[in-house]
Amino acid sequence: MLYVRSIWNGAISFGLVSIPIKLVNATESHSVAFRQIHTEDGGRIRYRKVCELEDREVTSSEIGKGYEDADGTIVPITDEDLAQLPIPTTRTIEIVAFVPTDRIDPLQLGAAYYLGANGVPAAKPYTLLREALKRSNRVAIAKYALRGRERLGMLRVVDDVIAMHGLLWPDEIRAPEGVAPDANVTVRDKELDLADALMDTLGEVDLEDLHDDYREAVEELIAAKTSGEEPRQTPGPARSGKVLDLMAALESSVRAAQESRAGTAEEADDGTEDAAHAEVRDLRKKKTPAKKTTSPKKPSATADRRTTAKKTTTDKTTTDKTTAKTTAKKTAAKKSTPRKRSA
């Protein structure tokens, strides 16, 4: 089992029950990290912490906290000052209520943590709270202090572990004023029907099948540069212009989604009889438009008459020309033959 370092130790306050717990991060980032460099020579760019008054670099042990007043005055605040604040959540996750899950606005959800039982004595009350949350089908709302401020949290059960989501305070959620289109737009029923059809065609997805294409492309780019190879150029998606006809765009989207799902079904086909009757198209392969086969048209009666007449006229003209040539030859022959004189 991979050891995960706890980032906070304290207790869950559940009425008069105290449950020692340790807080660990429930998520991790897989983003590729970059360093800032000097583009001319590749040297690292580093930031140094310098005191403005003494104009010298200071160490971490010399750095504290301070609040800047409106007039620019800095008020020093020490860790001891913060530790003596009269709030009960300094080292305690204090449960204040239990509410249905749908009462939580997803806009409030923040960082996620796992709460682990800290020590053998904590196992019994930890399990009690976990099973109570499971049976109630509700989540616990709690207050806790972390990184210098009091926060709001939501406790729920994930598998056999109590998880906590940091919540934004209600006054930290902005009202969506001025964001919606201010134009008076009317949506027709046919457009809604096509939108519903598109939603049905796209269907559901297993989130486990989704992955970060951008991160994979960056990793492939780094690997190519490290090995001295030329990075593979991948053409980007074609940029579409303005949508002038919403109905046509929706219809095209529905067709494309249907063909895409059919292509996916073809890949997963194991040769069963049911799949043989399905019409399957794979969008990933570029389609070559089929050549149109032009069948000879059957000539109409009028066309037949015109053709016959043209042929007859041609034959007649040819015959007349032949007759004229024959007559001309005979006439020339008669003229060239001398006549016999009578005795």
CB 56 within 8 A of CB 38: no
Distance CA 92, CA 146 (A): 10
pLDDT of the residue at 256: 84
Q: Is the pLDDT of residue 36 over 50?
A: yes
> Is pLDDT at 35 greater than 70 in this prediction?
yes
Question: Which has the closest alpha carbon to 153: 302, 341, 21?
Answer: 21
Interhelix angle for 189-202 vs 246-267, to 10°? 20
Structure tokens at 337: 């033959």
Place of tokens 């009350």: 125
The three state secondary structure string of 122-178 is HHHHHHHHHHHHHHHCEEEEEEEEECCEEEEEEEEEECCEEEEEEECCHHHCCCCCC
Cβ neighbourhood burial of 317 (10 Å; 0-12, 13-18, 19+): exposed
| Strand 74-77 relative to strand 92-100, pairing | unpaired
- Give the mean model confidence (pLDDT) for residues 8-33: 90
Q: Is the pLDDT of residue 28 over 60?
A: yes
What's the pLDDT tens digit per position in 200-227?
888 788 888 888 888 888 888 888 888 8
What is the pLDDT, as a whole number, of residue 298?
46
Average pLDDT, rounded, for the chain: 78
Determine the pLDDT at residue 3: 57
pLDDT tens, position by position, 92-147: 899 999 999 999 999 999 999 999 999 999 999 999 999 999 999 899 999 998 87
pLDDT > 70 in the chain, percent: 71
- What average pLDDT does this structure show over 294-312? 46
For the stretch 194-219, what's the b/e string if a residue is b when 16 or more beta carbons lie within 10 angstroms of its beta carbon?
A: beebbeebeeeeeeeeeeeeeeeeee
**pLDDT by residue (tens digit) across 245-268?**
777 887 888 888 888 777 766 666
From the CB of residue 19, how many other CB atoms can be counted at a distance below 10 Å? 25
pTM of the model: 0.61
Structure confidence at residue 205 (pLDDT): 80
Beta strand pairing call for 161-167 and 149-158: antiparallel
Average pLDDT estimate for 6-12: 89
Residue 231 has pLDDT above 50, yes or no: yes
